[in-house]
Amino acid sequence: MGSVLKGIRRAWTLPVWVAALGYFVDIFDLVLFSMLRVHSLMDLGLDKEFILSEGENILAGQMLGFLLGGILWGVLGDKIGRKAILYGSIALYSVANIANAFVSDVHAYAVVRFFAGLGLAGELGAAVTLVSELLSKELRGYGTMLVATIGLLGAVAAGLLAHTFHWRVMYIIGGLLGIALLITRAKVLESSMFDRIKQMDVPRGAWLRLFTSRDRFARYIKGILIGVPIWYSVAILIVFAPEMARFLEVKGEVSAIDAVMWCYLGVAVGDMLSGTFSQLIRSRKKAVLLFLTVLSVLVVAYFQLRGVPAWFFYLESFFIGIATGYWAVFITIAAEQFGTNIRATVATTTPNFVRGSVALITPTFKLLRQHVSISVAALLIGVVVIALAYWSILTIQETYGKDLDFIEEL
C-alpha cells in the first residue's frame, strides 16, 4: 500500500492536475444531456411517449459528433501537437453548451449536441497521450488513473447541481467551466517526445494507415472493442434507466439524473481500483479481465431487478459503474500500443469510437424492441459487446511497462 501511495504522490504533477480538471469538465458536459433529457424535452413540448425515441436520436447525434471529432482532433494532435488541439476542442464544446441553453426545438437541440460532441471528443485522448508521454513508464498508470478518477467526478457534480438549477442554466454552467479551463491550459508544456518527432521526416497522424496493415488494424480494433461494454452499460442501462425501471416494475420513481450520478460515482471508484490493481499486479490485461467479468455478472443481475425498490436500482447502477471503471486502463492500453507519431490519433479516436458506438447501439436497441421486450433487446446487445471485448483483451498485447519513445512504421 505504501508503494501505491508513493506512486500516486509522484504522479501528481501539474500536467496530471490540469488533465484531470479538463476531464472533469469534459465529463460534466458529456453527461448533461443524459441527465437533463427528460426535463428538457418535456420543457420543449414533447409528449412523454416521444421522449424515449427523440432522446435516442439526440444521443446518437451527440455520439456521431464524438466519432467525427475523435478522428479530427486525433489527427491534428499528431500533426500540430497534443496541447494545441485542446484549445480548439475546449472552445468548441464550451460555445456549443452555452448555445444549448437557448434552443427552442428538438431539431436545434440535436444540432447543438452534435457540435458539443465534436468538441468534447478532443479532451480525453489528448490528455491521456500527454500524461503518458510526460510521466515515466512506472508512473503513467497512476497518472492516467488519477485523470480518470478525478475527471469522472464531474458527473457527480453535474448530478448534484441538476437537482438545483434549471436545465438551461446547467448548460451555461458547463460552457463557462470550459472557458475557465482554457486559462489553466496555458501552463502545460508540450510532450518532449512529440517535439522530437516534429523534427523527423516521418508520417504523423496518418489515421488511414491504421487500416493498411493487418497487425495495426487488429491492435486498433481490439483496443476499441475492449471499451464498448462500458458505453453499452451507460447508454442503455443507465441513460434509459427510467424506462427500464418501469418495465422492471421498480417500486418508486427512478430518475435519470440520479442513475447517471450514481453510476459515474461508481466509475470513479472503479477507475481508482482498476488503475491501482493494474499497477500492483503489473498487468493491464488482467485488470481489464477482472472488471469485465464482474460487469458481465452485474449486467445479468440488472435484468433480475423486477419489483425492487428504487434505492436498490441505484445501488445496482453504482456497482455497474464500478465494474465499468476500467476506462482509464483501457485507454492507456490503446495509447501504449502505438508509436509517438500516431499515438494521439489512436488515443483520441479509440475512446471516441467507443462513445460513438452508441450511434450503432441505440438504433439496434430500437430495432430489436420492435420484436422483443426492452429487457431482452438490451440483454442481447450486452451479450454481443461483452463477448467481443473478452476476445479482444485475451488476444491483445500486454503493454504494462512498455517504453513509449518509439516510432510507428507507417
- Which CATH fold topology does 2-186+206-395 show? Growth Hormone; Chain: A; (1.20.1250)
42: cell is 418535456
pLDDT at 61 over 80: yes
Nearest to 123 by CA among 74, 156, 64: 74
Domain coordinates of the chain in residue numbers? Answer: 2-186+206-395
Asked whether 156 and 265 are in contact (CB, 8 A), the reply is yes
Nearest to 332 by CA among 127, 64, 36, 99: 127
Output the CA–CA distances (angstroms, integers) from residue 24 to 14, 129, 153, 156, 397, in the order listed. 15, 17, 6, 10, 30
Indicate the pTM of the whole model: 0.81
SS3 185: helix
The per-residue pLDDT of the chain, averaged, comes to 86
Phi, psi of 216 (to 5 degrees): -65, -45
Query: Across residues 267-274, what is the average pLDDT?
Result: 90
The alpha-helical segments, DSSP class H, found in 163-252 are 167-185, 192-198, 214-232, 241-247
- pLDDT band for position 218 (cuts 50, 70, 90): very high
- pLDDT band for position 332 (cuts 50, 70, 90): confident
- pLDDT band for position 284 (cuts 50, 70, 90): very high
Query: Across residues 161-174, what is the average pLDDT?
Result: 91
Asked whether 144 and 131 are in contact (CB, 8 A), the reply is yes
DSSP 209: G
Asked whether 248 and 302 are in contact (CB, 8 A), the reply is no
Question: Sign of the C-alpha dihedral, residues 148, 151, 156, 158?
Answer: negative
- pLDDT band for position 194 (cuts 50, 70, 90): low
Phi, psi of 251 (to 5 degrees): -85, 115
Name the residue with cell 471503471: 325
Helix and strand counts by DSSP (H, E) for the chain: 19, 0
Output the CA–CA distances (angstroms, integers) from residue 261 to 152, 171, 405, in the order listed. 10, 16, 38
**pLDDT tens-digit map of 64-80:** 888 888 888 888 878 87
Poorest-pLDDT segment among 108-112, 135-139, 187-191, 291-295: 187-191
185: cell is 491550459
Q: Would you state the pLDDT for residue 1?
A: 58
Query: Across residues 150-167, what is the average pLDDT?
Result: 87
Nearest to 83 by CA among 188, 196, 179, 195: 188
Query: What residues contact 399, with CB distance under 8 A and at least 6 apart?
Result: 284, 332, 333, 336, 337
Q: What percent of the chain has pLDDT over 70?
A: 94
**pLDDT tens-digit map of 351-390:** 888 887 877 888 888 899 889 988 899 999 999 999 999 9
242: cell is 427510467
pLDDT at 46 over 90: no
pLDDT at 191 over 70: no
